[in-house]
Amino acid sequence: MTVTFARPLADRSLEGGAVGSPWPASARTAPGGELLLGGVGLAEAADRFGTPLYVLDEAEVRSRCRAYREALPQAEVLYAAKAFLCSAMADWVAEEGLGLDVCSVGELRLAAAAGFPPQRMLLHGNAKSPEELRLALRLRVGRIVIDGLAEIPRLAALAVADEAQRVLVRVLPGVAAGHHAAVRTGVAGQKFGFPIEGGDAAEAVSRVLAQPSLSLAGLHCHLGSQITEVEPFLEAVDRVVALLAGIRDRHGVELPELDLGGGHGVPYLADEPELDLAEFAARVGERLAAACAEHGLSVPRLLVEPGRAVVGPAGVALYRVLAVKHGTDGRVFVAVDGGMSDNPRPSLYGARYTVRLVGRASTAEPWEVDVVGRHCEAGDVLVPNAQLPADVRAGDLLAVPVAGAYQLSMASSYNLVGRPAVVAVRDGRARQLIRRETVEDFLNREVGR
């Protein structure tokens, strides 16, 4: 089976027609070296809105939301807001029938202000503040994920017994998955959840069931990030269903929900794999049914929380070249007007990207360069060993795909460089969603000397 993300397959060339993976499905080349996204020229968008600039293909986001709903019609799909959130994104997700997974008071308030239905929200967090819990309860969010023993009495004291708050208990099934150690969250020895092995998860369940103001809806687990194989999810199903059976035997209750989290991988380079959504849906469903049958359990409703897989491939980052420097060792550095402040992933995780020249045609032979950022760090390298035309020069425009997730959401103001603007494109039109952060914004935060 293959993933059904409506990506063009017939023409994956970089000249003429569809561009192909890892670019959005709407990406098309045009005369003069222009690249169109959602019918909008990227060079035109850069001239209009400035750079660095993040361009989001609305149709790609919506298509990916629909692909999840179609592949998992009986499951509840919640978009993981930590990947990227703004009011427009909340609207798109809501309109496409997905729920929303939030993990801070900021994400919760923005979603609420955008009109996202609270009953379709789920609140995460290993260290939720009293403010977050009170707001979640006041809004009546659909579920709150319990992540620590101290959170149980705290939440129970804030909740109202005759309107019990639905909760999930986050467990660690002991399955390691993900592209980097920093994002492997399904094993013991890190800050999230309760290990199944050793009895911590069972103890947390017992304590939640003892609270009349809390209603235990099910169990939650999250294995990691950038997972491209189905097998880790199958192993997690086996271990969590065994825990569900133990809860039934000990407490006489069958929990109706099982949340397998997200972490679904996408390709950042043309030769990289992605999680096959159709295979995931089929094999996880089959394994869940089989495991439940083995233990004599009713099959719980499945929940999944994709973030990157929904928005990552829909985004393209645009940078203007500021300088080209030839090192004494033969290396060539192409410095751009952004960097680790708007995309920390290469510095944090060694993330790899592709990059291409847009806005002008070049017949020059490709050469190997390091596309570097403008920040005062030697490690501020966006795309090492990139292939760009040998005549790349200051003023050129570069485009980096798969920029929709965990870039702006993790952005900083390092060196007081403002975070970029975000523009949505669709049907030949571009509209600004988030304005550029300016020096005036920094000055306005200062309240004394």
Which residue of the set 86, 103, 292, 376 is catalytic? 376
Q: Is residue 88 part of a domain?
A: yes
User: Among the three residues 306, 323, 351, which one is the final residue of a domain in this structure?
Assistant: 306
Shared domain for 113 and 243, answered yes or no, is: yes
Shared domain for 51 and 81, answered yes or no, is: no
User: Among the three residues 281, 306, 331, which one is the final residue of a domain in this structure?
Assistant: 306
Shared domain for 185 and 40, answered yes or no, is: no
Pairing status of strand 421-426 against strand 214-220: unpaired
Residue 342 buriedness (CB in 10 A; 0-12 / 13-18 / 19+)? buried
- Specify the DSSP element, H or E, that contains 310: helix 308-311
* Axis crossing angle, helix 105-113 with helix 130-139, rounded to the nearest 10: 30
Q: Is residue 420 part of a domain?
A: yes
The whole domain housing 84 covers 72-306
User: Which CATH number fits the domain that encloses residue 126?
Assistant: 3.20.20.10
> Residues for the chain: how many in total?
449
pLDDT for res 14: 38
Q: Is residue 66 part of a domain?
A: no
Shared domain for 150 and 182, answered yes or no, is: yes
Q: Is residue 3 part of a domain?
A: no
Tokens 């994709």 map to which residue? 306
Shared domain for 278 and 322, answered yes or no, is: no
Tokens of 340: 């680790």
Shared domain for 228 and 328, answered yes or no, is: no
User: Are the C-beta atoms of 114 and 124 separated by less than 8 Å?
Assistant: no
Cα gap 96→238, rounded to integer Å = 31
120 SS3 class: helix
Name the pTM for this structure.
0.92
Pairing status of strand 257-259 against strand 194-195: unpaired
Shared domain for 317 and 369, answered yes or no, is: yes
Q: Which residues of 21-58 are buried (b: 16+ CB within 10 A; e: fewer)?
A: bbbbbbbbbeeebbbbbbebbbbebbeebebbbbbbbb
Shared domain for 157 and 269, answered yes or no, is: yes
pLDDT for res 190: 67
pLDDT for res 162: 75
Q: Is residue 262 part of a domain?
A: yes
Shared domain for 122 and 222, answered yes or no, is: yes
Q: Is residue 64 part of a domain?
A: no
Shared domain for 355 and 413, answered yes or no, is: yes
Cα gap 170→193, rounded to integer Å = 5
440 SS3 class: helix
What strands lie across the sheet with 17-18, from one edge to the other? 17-18, 28-29, 35-37, 40-41
Tokens 């569900």 map to which residue? 244
Closest listed residue to residue 165, CA positions, set 212, 129, 117 = 212
User: Which CATH number fits the domain that encloses residue 323?
Assistant: 2.40.37.10
The conformation of residue 64, written as its DSSP 8-state character, comes to: H
Q: Is residue 128 part of a domain?
A: yes
Based on the residue annotation, tell me whether 86 is a catalytic residue of this protein: no
Task: Give Cα separations from 295 to 156, 262, 282, 398 (angstroms).
Answer: 31, 25, 20, 55
Cα angle 121, 123, 126 (rounded to 5 degrees) comes to 165
Shared domain for 292 and 372, answered yes or no, is: no
Q: Is residue 62 part of a domain?
A: no
User: Are the C-beta atoms of 37 and 55 separated by less than 8 Å?
Assistant: yes
Cα gap 231→179, rounded to integer Å = 15
Instruction: Calculate the dihedral angle through the C-alpha atoms of 80, 196, 191, 155, rounding to the nearest 10 degrees.
Output: 70
User: Among the three residues 244, 273, 306, which one is the final residue of a domain in this structure?
Assistant: 306
Query: What is the number of domains present in the chain?
Result: 2
- Going residue by residue through the chain, which has 449 residues, state the pLDDT in tens, using 9 for 90 and above: 333 333 332 233 333 445 557 999 999 999 899 999 999 999 999 999 999 999 999 999 999 999 999 999 999 999 999 999 999 999 999 999 999 999 999 999 999 999 999 999 999 999 999 999 999 999 999 999 999 999 999 999 999 877 899 999 999 998 876 554 544 444 566 678 999 999 999 999 999 999 999 999 999 999 999 999 999 999 999 999 999 999 999 999 999 999 999 999 999 999 899 999 999 999 999 999 999 999 999 999 999 999 999 999 999 999 999 999 998 888 999 999 999 999 999 999 899 999 999 999 999 999 999 999 999 999 999 999 999 999 999 999 999 999 999 999 999 999 999 999 999 999 999 999 999 999 999 999 999 98
Shared domain for 36 and 133, answered yes or no, is: no
